[in-house]
Amino acid sequence: MIRVVLPGHLRTLAHVSSEVHLEIVGPVTQRSVLDALEAQYPMLRGTIRDHVTHERRPFLRFFACEEDYSLEPPDTPLPDAVASGKEPLLIIGAIAGG
């Protein structure tokens, strides 16, 4: 089981109140996690990565195990702790005022 923590606004859109749990067969990567997330919560398509290019939206970052994985290639395996469900993948919006 993969655990994903969404930003507050996306939790509202997806109608979830805490972290999201996903089942993934095969390598656990940014791409496979986001594919599974969008399949289970289709209302999130286009909100984390672009509909067409699948590039990460510029004001969002991916963190896990206190490391920033935002700039890693999408098929790079995420840490074992994420794959095992011990640690969540954090999707975080850039902090800004206003």
Partner 1 sequence: MSKVRVLVGTRKGAFILNSDGKREKWDISGPHFAGWEMYHLKGSTVDPNRIYASQCSGWFGQIIQRSDDGGKTWIQPGTPPDEEKGPGGMPKGESNKFVYDVSADSGKPLTTHMWYDGTQHPWEFKRVWHLEPSPTDPDTVYAGVEDAGLFRSTDGGQNWQELSGLRGHESGAGWQPGAGGMCLHTIILDPSDPKRIYIAISAAGAFRTDDGGKTWRPINKGLYSQYIPNPTAEVGHCVHHVAMNPSRPGVLFMQKHWDVMRSDNSGDSWTEVSGNLPTDFGFVIDVHAHEPETIYVVPIKSDGEHFPLDGKLRVYRSKTGGNEWEALAKGLPERDCYVNVLRDAMAVDSLDKCGVYFGTTGGQVYASADAGDNWSPIAKHLPAVLSVEVQTLP
- Residue 59 lies near partner 1 (rule: CB under 8 A): yes
- Residue 24 lies near partner 1 (rule: CB under 8 A): no
Maximal CA-CA distance, the chain:
41
Best CA proximity match to 71, nearest among 56, 93, 91, 51? 56
User: What order do you get walking across the sheet with 2-5 strand by strand?
Assistant: 20-22, 2-5, 89-93, 60-64, 67-68
The count of residues interacting with partner 1 (CB under 8 A) is: 25
Q: Which residues contact 35 (CB under 8 A, 6 or more apart)?
A: none
Residue of the chain from 11, 24, 31, 38 that contacts partner 1 (CB under 8 A): 38
- Residue 41 lies near partner 1 (rule: CB under 8 A): yes
> Least distance from C-beta 7 to partner 1, angstroms?
7
- Residue 5 lies near partner 1 (rule: CB under 8 A): no
Chain positions contacting partner 1, by CB under 8 A: 7, 9-10, 13-15, 38-43, 45-48, 50-52, 57, 59-60, 93-94, 96
